Homo-oligomer: A and B are copies of this chain.
Amino acid sequence: MKIQKPVYYGDYLQLPKILNAQAPESAKYGDAAHDETLFIIIHQTYELWFKQILHELESVRTIMHKPFVPSTDLAVINARLERITSIQQILIDQIQVMETMTSLDFMDFRDYLVPASGFQSLQFRLVEARLGIKPEHRMDVEKQFFNSRLKPEDKKILEQAEQETSVLELLEIWLSRMPFSNFENFDFWGAYSKAVEAMLKSDYEIVSSNPSLNDKTRELELKNLEATKETFSTLLDAKKFETWKASGKVRLSQKAMLSAVFIHLYREYPALQMPYKILNSLVEVDEKFTTWRYRHAIMAQRILGTKIGTGGSSGHEYLKATTERNRAFIDLFNLATFLIPKSAIPRLPEVIKGQLDIVYDFVQS
């Protein structure tokens, strides 16, 4: 390697550009508000982090696009997802910095910013699209809410991204490709099905005999159990699953779901350790954005009361409404529904075990 020229810190980071990009609107009206700088800088750091998240998601998508994902790439995928959650924790933590700005401080410059609004962040919409949020998943109010706010050129970029394969779709393809939904010479799902039945029967007895439940609650719990039973049967019945999927209550295909359940049940095997980590990391990505939206909504309400935001809108109502909804990996989040106690998990035949295991530890001779 031949290094051509020395690199200086400030040039490398392009600090002249970065540190001269804060132009408070209030100052333009001869009424500089001290806190507007914070407002600008905190949003700029948010956008820088969104850029980094997109960088990681692009890399994950590129790897998962391969017709065959090499096992050595799985650790890379997971490391990038874990980096994303690590960044998301900063996004959440930064809300505490924003909270050092009081209502009165914000009112000093709020009026100058109309109609700018965080809902005009193209990058955040791109992150959602890359993860797997499609226009059809959004509530009507949400679509209307921010679509009218994006610039035409930004709207176009978003629509393009929404048509490209998302991480959720790539995940489905990857999971469907796995050989876990149908083994030769071993009726795994039959064995699983029996274990489920036994578990539900035990749950039924517990609820029926629980002395601390009053009749009304007991009735409710029993109904709940019936629903759980139906859910399991839906997982295992291709037709029922299809109907379920059509209703929008589940997004992954049956094959993908079965693989995900299998991975959860046998996660200790070397072949499944990293896939399990990946499933977990994706849930974590969803969860961190959920927490971020929630905390953000509370913060906005505390600063604004029931007043309107800079975009002329009650953003916090909207944020609250989407807190729970905009999860790409909700199916993975709900996976615990399909798990059964360790003692009830079917024992794998040695030949399958062999396929999932690696032996590299030796008894010393």
Residues on A facing B (Cβ under 8 Å): 1, 3, 6-10, 12-15, 17-19, 21-23, 25, 29, 34, 37-38, 40-41, 43-45, 47-49, 51-52, 55, 59, 67-76, 79, 82-83, 86-87, 89-90, 93-94, 96-97, 100, 102-104, 107-108, 111-118, 120-123, 144-145, 148-149, 151, 154, 174, 177-179, 202-203, 206-207, 209-214, 216-217, 221, 224-225, 227-228, 231, 264-265, 267-271, 273-274, 283, 287, 290-291, 294-295, 298, 301-308, 311-314, 333-343, 355-364
Contacts and interface: CB of A to CB of B under 8 A. Distances in A.
Given A83-B100, A291-B298, 15 more contacts: A6-B114, A6-B212, A10-B151, A34-B55, A41-B52, A45-B49, A86-B96, A87-B97, A90-B90, A103-B339, A144-B217, A178-B361, A210-B312, A225-B308, A357-B358
Contact of A358 (B59, B112, B271, B313): B271
Contacts of A102: 79
Contacts of A304: 336
B363 A355 contact: no
A151 B49 CA distance: 29
B271 A360 contact: yes
Contacts of A308: 203, 207, 221, 224-225
Most buried by B among A48, A52, A70: A48
A13 B23 CA distance: 8
A120 B8 contact: yes
A68 B41 CA distance: 32
Nearest to A31: B343
B270 A71 contact: yes
Contacts of A303: 336
Q: How many copies of this chain are found per oligomer?
A: 4
Taking chain A's interface residues, is the majority helix, strand, or loop, or is none over half, making it mixed? helix
Contact of A12 (B74, B96, B113, B144): B113
A107 to B, nearest CB: 4
Nearest to A114: B206
A129 B100 CA distance: 24
A6 B115 contact: yes
A258 to B, nearest CB: 15
B51 A231 contact: no
Given A8-B151, A44-B48, A93 B89 contact: yes
A40 to B, nearest CB: 6
Nearest to A317: B224
A336 B313 contact: no
A312 B206 contact: yes
A27 B211 CA distance: 23
A274 B271 contact: no
Contacts of A1: 29, 111, 202
11 contacts: A7-B112, A8-B116, A9-B121, A41-B51, A72-B357, A79-B100, A86-B96, A108-B342, A210-B312, A212-B312, A356-B358
A336 B112 contact: no
A306 B268 contact: no
